[in-house]
Structure 1
Protein backbone atom coordinates (compact mmCIF):
# COMPACT_ATOMS: atom_id res chain seq x y z
CA UNK A 1 0.00 0.00 0.00
CA UNK A 2 2.88 2.33 0.73
CA UNK A 3 4.26 1.49 -2.71
CA UNK A 4 1.02 2.65 -4.36
CA UNK A 5 0.96 5.83 -2.28
CA UNK A 6 4.48 6.66 -3.48
CA UNK A 7 3.55 5.88 -7.09
CA UNK A 8 0.52 8.18 -6.95
CA UNK A 9 2.63 10.88 -5.29
CA UNK A 10 5.18 10.71 -8.11
CA UNK A 11 2.40 10.84 -10.72
CA UNK A 12 1.03 13.88 -8.92
CA UNK A 13 4.41 15.61 -9.03
CA UNK A 14 4.87 14.86 -12.73
CA UNK A 15 1.34 15.99 -13.59
CA UNK A 16 1.84 19.18 -11.59
CA UNK A 17 5.10 19.85 -13.39
CA UNK A 18 3.40 19.57 -16.77
CA UNK A 19 0.46 21.76 -15.71
CA UNK A 20 -2.27 19.19 -15.26
CA UNK A 21 -3.56 20.61 -12.01
CA UNK A 22 -6.75 18.52 -11.91
CA UNK A 23 -4.90 15.25 -12.36
CA UNK A 24 -2.27 16.39 -9.89
CA UNK A 25 -4.86 17.21 -7.22
CA UNK A 26 -6.71 13.93 -7.74
CA UNK A 27 -3.61 11.76 -7.53
CA UNK A 28 -2.36 13.70 -4.51
CA UNK A 29 -5.66 12.98 -2.75
CA UNK A 30 -5.42 9.29 -3.63
CA UNK A 31 -1.83 9.18 -2.36
CA UNK A 32 -2.85 10.88 0.89
CA UNK A 33 -5.72 8.42 1.47
CA UNK A 34 -3.54 5.40 0.72
CA UNK A 35 -0.84 6.66 3.08
CA UNK A 36 -3.42 7.19 5.83
CA UNK A 37 -4.74 3.65 5.36
CA UNK A 38 -1.17 2.32 5.42
CA UNK A 39 -0.45 4.21 8.62
CA UNK A 40 -3.59 2.89 10.34
CA UNK A 41 -2.88 -0.71 9.32
CA UNK A 42 0.76 -0.36 10.42
CA UNK A 43 -0.25 0.94 13.85
CA UNK A 44 -2.82 -1.84 14.31
CA UNK A 45 -0.24 -4.50 13.50
CA UNK A 46 2.32 -2.81 15.73
CA UNK A 47 -0.09 -2.81 18.68
CA UNK A 48 -1.02 -6.44 18.01
CA UNK A 49 2.65 -7.43 17.92
CA UNK A 50 3.38 -5.67 21.21
CA UNK A 51 0.37 -7.30 22.85
CA UNK A 52 1.40 -10.73 21.54
CA UNK A 53 4.91 -10.18 22.85
CA UNK A 54 3.58 -9.31 26.28
CA UNK A 55 1.35 -12.42 26.28
CA UNK A 56 4.35 -14.66 25.65
CA UNK A 57 6.26 -13.25 28.60
Structure 2
Protein backbone atom coordinates (compact mmCIF):
# COMPACT_ATOMS: atom_id res chain seq x y z
CA UNK A 1 0.00 0.00 0.00
CA UNK A 2 2.89 2.36 0.68
CA UNK A 3 4.13 1.74 -2.86
CA UNK A 4 0.69 2.58 -4.21
CA UNK A 5 0.66 5.78 -2.15
CA UNK A 6 4.08 6.79 -3.51
CA UNK A 7 4.03 5.32 -7.04
CA UNK A 8 0.33 5.12 -7.91
CA UNK A 9 0.05 1.33 -7.91
CA UNK A 10 0.51 -1.54 -5.49
CA UNK A 11 3.32 -4.03 -6.02
CA UNK A 12 2.53 -7.52 -7.23
CA UNK A 13 3.90 -10.52 -5.32
CA UNK A 14 6.62 -11.16 -7.93
CA UNK A 15 7.94 -7.59 -7.49
CA UNK A 16 8.86 -8.08 -3.85
CA UNK A 17 12.56 -8.50 -3.09
CA UNK A 18 15.06 -7.48 -0.45
CA UNK A 19 13.18 -8.66 2.61
CA UNK A 20 11.78 -6.73 5.54
CA UNK A 21 14.94 -4.68 6.18
CA UNK A 22 14.87 -3.32 2.63
CA UNK A 23 11.15 -2.57 2.90
CA UNK A 24 11.61 -0.82 6.26
CA UNK A 25 14.43 1.35 4.89
CA UNK A 26 12.29 2.28 1.87
CA UNK A 27 9.33 3.19 4.08
CA UNK A 28 11.52 5.30 6.38
CA UNK A 29 12.83 7.25 3.38
CA UNK A 30 9.22 8.03 2.49
CA UNK A 31 8.64 9.40 5.98
CA UNK A 32 6.82 6.43 7.51
CA UNK A 33 7.61 5.49 11.08
CA UNK A 34 8.63 1.82 11.23
CA UNK A 35 8.59 0.02 14.56
CA UNK A 36 9.72 -3.51 15.34
CA UNK A 37 7.02 -5.29 17.29
CA UNK A 38 7.65 -8.59 19.00
CA UNK A 39 4.93 -11.21 18.68
CA UNK A 40 3.03 -11.62 21.93
CA UNK A 41 3.80 -14.60 24.11
CA UNK A 42 0.29 -16.01 24.06
CA UNK A 43 -1.00 -18.76 26.28
CA UNK A 44 -2.42 -21.88 24.63
CA UNK A 45 -6.02 -20.82 25.32
CA UNK A 46 -5.43 -17.41 23.73
CA UNK A 47 -4.07 -19.04 20.57
CA UNK A 48 -7.10 -21.33 20.36
CA UNK A 49 -9.47 -18.38 20.82
CA UNK A 50 -7.67 -16.32 18.16
CA UNK A 51 -7.75 -19.25 15.73
CA UNK A 52 -11.46 -19.75 16.36
CA UNK A 53 -12.17 -16.04 15.72
CA UNK A 54 -10.24 -16.16 12.45
CA UNK A 55 -12.09 -19.26 11.32
CA UNK A 56 -15.47 -17.74 12.18
CA UNK A 57 -14.73 -14.42 10.48
CA UNK A 58 -12.70 -15.48 7.46
Q: Is the shorter-chain TM-score for this pair beyond 0.5, marking a shared fold?
A: no
TM-score normalised by the shorter chain: which range applies?
A: under 0.3
Q: Report the TM-score, using the length of structure 1 for normalisation.
A: 0.28
Higher relative contact order, structure no. (Cα contacts within 8 Å, ≥ 6 residues apart):
1
More helix by share: 1
TM-score (norm. length: structure 2) = 0.27
